[in-house]
Structure formats: structure tokens, C-alpha cells
Amino acid sequence: MSLSRRRLLQLSGGLALCATTYGRAETVTDDWSGDVAILRQAWETMHPGVYRYSTPEEITARLNSLARAWTAPGSFRDRFLALTRVTASLKCGHTYPSPYNSSDATVARIYPDRSLVPFLFRWIDGRMVVIRDDSRAGLFPRGTVITAIDGVMTRDLLVRLTPLARADGSNLAKRISLMEARGEDRYETFDIHLPLVLPLKDQAVFTLAGGHVVRAPLLTLADRRAGFSASVEVAKDSNPWTLSKGADGVHRLTMPGWALYDSNFDWRAWLGGVMDDLTGDGARGLIVDLRGNEGGIDCGNVVISRLIDRDLALSRDQRWTRYRTAPEGLRPYLKTWDRRFLDWGEAAVASQERPGFYRLTHYDDDSGGNVIRPEGRRFEGRVAVLCDASNSSATFGFGQTCKDNGLATLVGQTTGGNRRGINGGAFFFLQLPASRLEVDLPLIASFPATPQPDAAIAPDIAVATTARDIATGRDPQMLAATQYLIGS
């Protein structure tokens, strides 16, 4: 099971009310270097991917620099920026200071004032293309192209922002995707990080394509949250997915998220019924829309079970952890949903194959745990999966399995994740006591059995989105998938 950290600890709706408690000019004089010592010990003893892309010497130098920055007086945002640079340098898509697993007071410090751009947008060719106008004055119609903010070119802003984004390996597409604001998350990565590289407050000047300049008021977190999409606001036990049956015979299954850990929605039964009905309904094809879906539970296995006629062995990437028992000195700072992660016991077995690691035999060798078996009614029609750079955990694995086994055609854009393996599967939420910041700590690393490129999964049919597509409401990926399934 691959887990999506951001849904595990959702914060209450009331936190935005205290978003002005801390001002931009707040100067922090407390010595937070003790937090760096805690982070250092956690990474050196428990993080399974800390040295996947960095040497021990590089990690030491970065943490030493952070300790110096967290000793000298400075603003909260400066210190938060310093931490973000270090966590992002691991090139791990599951390691970052997360607002989802932080206290209300900490989130209030991350969003201290009115500093969010008054629109949602996507990055296209280094420019911001508006997908929703939140200015309340019609200043940014859908499809508007923004080329500068307060005189700083958007291309330059993107260059400053992407090194702060969590992503696996050299996956630039994932970093760019995270630095969009699409209204899909309670806390947009872009909203957190833009004020760190471009100080904004109350209002800003936006330069549009063609040179027109618009001065507009900025938003608070409460303003942003007022426009949540249905996928963000869905009730805990409600079905977050939708199914439409087109007159063209194509069934379209939209799945914006798979993070259903604490939901009572019987997703297995519902999804199995959807897949079984495809044959009975005489569907010509199925489109599974995973755009914007980072992952969660391995829901895709139910889909795959209706596409196969024999047992399918999943990737034999081995899973490893750096510890058998969590260090006693760290335990007061480790929070999680499953205290069994504190002690793997006999499930973690030392191996000469990978010195310094323990093989998690419980995960890899559990009977039938690495095989998908045929279930229900097999669908023999064509299947297309709409993918994008968000797909970086369970959805990355689903896309990889579909492509490797010819089960579906991937349509859209390169995924997130990385073929060299990712870190995840289980997590501690490392609570740093002095700063009161939290850093997600993945506990399991997967490593491929054979050397793989530092790359994600390319779609079978690559389809980009243009500013004109956004302006006109055209969905080029859905159109391309439909054409593939039913022919031109």
C-alpha cells in the first residue's frame, strides 16, 4: 500500500481565522538548532532514501547550514524557507514540512497575512494561465496569461520555486505541477512558497500577455479555501469518484484521489461493481481519469483485477527500511496512525544484499500479497488512463503496472514518481519541538531489481494543454483518449 501523507491528518476549518496572528515582520530569536539535531538523527537512522541522491557529506553540510540559519535571528519565513530547501534537496516526494500534519498555530504562521494570488492557474511554457478567477471583479478571465508579478517575470519565479518542491529524483514535471494552484488541495504548495521567494502582502501588480497591467488585492487562506473544489470538500464517508456513461459507449471514471484510509465508503464493492458492469452494459471502452491524483490506497488493483485472465505478479521492487526499532531518543517526536511502525520486529531482516538496511519480508513475502488475481467479470474492451505529473505514489505504481503489462494506454503527460524507486509506504510525522514545525518521514524505500533511469513514466499518447484549451474549456486529454477508444 502506498500512502498519501496530506490526507492523513486534516486540519479544522477554523484555523484560517487566526491566520493574521503572526505578521510578516515577526523576528525569531529562539535557538532552533536542537530541532536540526533531531532531524539529523531521524534521517541518519530512519530515512530509507536519505542517501539515494545525496552523499552523507552533502547531507551533513546542508544540515549544518540549517543549524546556523536556525540559530541566527531571522523571520519565520526565512527559517521555513531554509528548512524547505534542505528537505527538497533529498529529492524525495514524501519528505517535506507538511501543513496537513501540523498544529493550527503553525499553519497560521505559514499563512500570516493576505499574500495569495487572486486566481487559480496552471504553468504553460513558463507562464501562468488562469483556470479560475477569484478576484471577485472579473480581472482574470479563464485563459488569461500572466507573465510577471510585481515586475518579476513568471519564468524567473518558476525557476526560484521548483527547487523548493518535493519530488522524486530529477522529476521536474512533478515539481512544476506542485507549483500550480488548481484548487485541488487544502494547502496549495504554490501558495505556501511564493511569498518565500517574492514578498507579497495585500495587493500585487500582474502583467498580462500583451503588456496590460492589473493591480489586484491578494487573498487570505480563508479566501482560497472558500473556493475548494468538490474533490477537496467531499465528506469523509462519501464516494469521491464519479462515473459517466457516454452516448458514444465510453464509460468515464473520474478518480481525483485514492486516500480513503479512514473512510467508511465501501470503495472496493462500488469499484468492483463499476468494472463488472462494463461488460453487461456493452461499453466500447473505459477511461480512468487520474489527473491530479497523487495516490493513497492501491485502489487500482480492483480495476486491474477485471482486466486480466490470469494472476499478475506486481513489480518485484524490494522494500527496505533503515531500522528495526525506532531510537528511544526520537520516540517523543514521532507521531503516526500505526504505532507498530515503532518496532518492525521479525518483519525487518538484515541482509548482506544492502548493508545498513533491513528487508521488510512481511511486505514482500506475504502470501499472495504481491499478486493481483482475476476477479469478477473480465472487461476485454480498450482502456485508457489519463495521467499527469501528480501521479507519484499509488497512482504511479498503477500507471507503471498498466504500461508494463499492456493493460491500458496512458494518455496525457509524464507522471510523477521515479523509476529508480520511491520512499513511502509508512510514515512518521516528525514533530520538531522548538520550531513546532513538522517534517514527514517516510519509512520504506523501494529499489528496483535492475538499474533504471532517473525518470518517471512517459504516456503512450502525449497530449499537452494550451492556454487556448483552458480559455475555451476544451479537454485535450479526454478528447484524445476518446478518439483512441472509438476511432477517429
**pLDDT tier at 234 (50, 70, 90 boundaries)?**
low
Which class does domain 231-486 fall in? alpha beta
pLDDT score for 366 = 47
How many other C-beta atoms are found inside a 10 Å radius of the C-beta of residue 37? Answer: 13
Predicted confidence (pLDDT) per residue in 297-308, tens digit:
999 999 999 999
Side chain identity at residue 294, one-letter code: E
Q: Is residue 10 predicted with pLDDT exceeding 60?
A: no
Contacts of 272 (CB under 8 A, 6+ apart): 302, 305, 306, 375, 376
Domain limits, CATH 3.90.226.10, in the chain: 231-486
Order of strands across the sheet that contains 438-447: 334-335, 423-431, 438-447, 318-321, 358-360, 348-350
pLDDT score for 233 = 57
Q: Is residue 37 predicted with pLDDT exceeding 80?
A: yes
Contact 27, 79 (CB under 8 A): no
pLDDT score for 449 = 86
In angstroms, the CA 15 to CA 238 distance is 24
pLDDT score for 283 = 95
Please tell me what DSSP assigns to residue 369.
Answer: T
Q: Is residue 36 predicted with pLDDT exceeding 60?
A: yes
**pLDDT tier at 398 (50, 70, 90 boundaries)?**
very high
Predicted confidence (pLDDT) per residue in 57-76, tens digit:
999 999 999 999 999 999 99
In angstroms, the CA 38 to CA 435 distance is 12
In angstroms, the CA 184 to CA 187 distance is 9
Q: Is residue 111 predicted with pLDDT exceeding 70?
A: yes
DSSP string for 102-154: S-HHHHHHHS-SS-B-SEEEEEETTEEEEEEE-SSSS-S-TT-EEEEETTEEH
- DSSP element (H, E) containing 488: none
Q: What is the mean pLDDT of residues 72-86?
A: 97
pLDDT score for 290 = 98
Q: Is residue 42 predicted with pLDDT exceeding 90?
A: yes
pLDDT score for 25 = 55
Q: Is residue 396 predicted with pLDDT exceeding 50?
A: yes
Predicted confidence (pLDDT) per residue in 122-155, tens digit:
999 999 999 999 999 999 999 999 999 999 999 9
Domain limits, CATH 2.30.42, in the chain: 115-229
Among 156-165, 235-244, 452-461, name the one with the lowest average pLDDT.
Answer: 235-244
Q: Is 74 helix (H, G, I), strand (E, B) or coil?
A: strand
Q: Is 204 helix (H, G, I), strand (E, B) or coil?
A: strand
Q: Is residue 419 predicted with pLDDT exceeding 90?
A: yes
Mean pLDDT, rounded, of the chain: 91
In angstroms, the CA 202 to CA 404 distance is 50
CATH of domain 115-229: 2.30.42
Strands 127-133 and 145-149: antiparallel
Beta bridge partners of 358: 321, 350
Share of the chain above pLDDT 90, in %: 83
**pLDDT tier at 185 (50, 70, 90 boundaries)?**
confident
Q: Is residue 397 predicted with pLDDT exceeding 80?
A: yes
Q: Is residue 23 predicted with pLDDT exceeding 70?
A: no
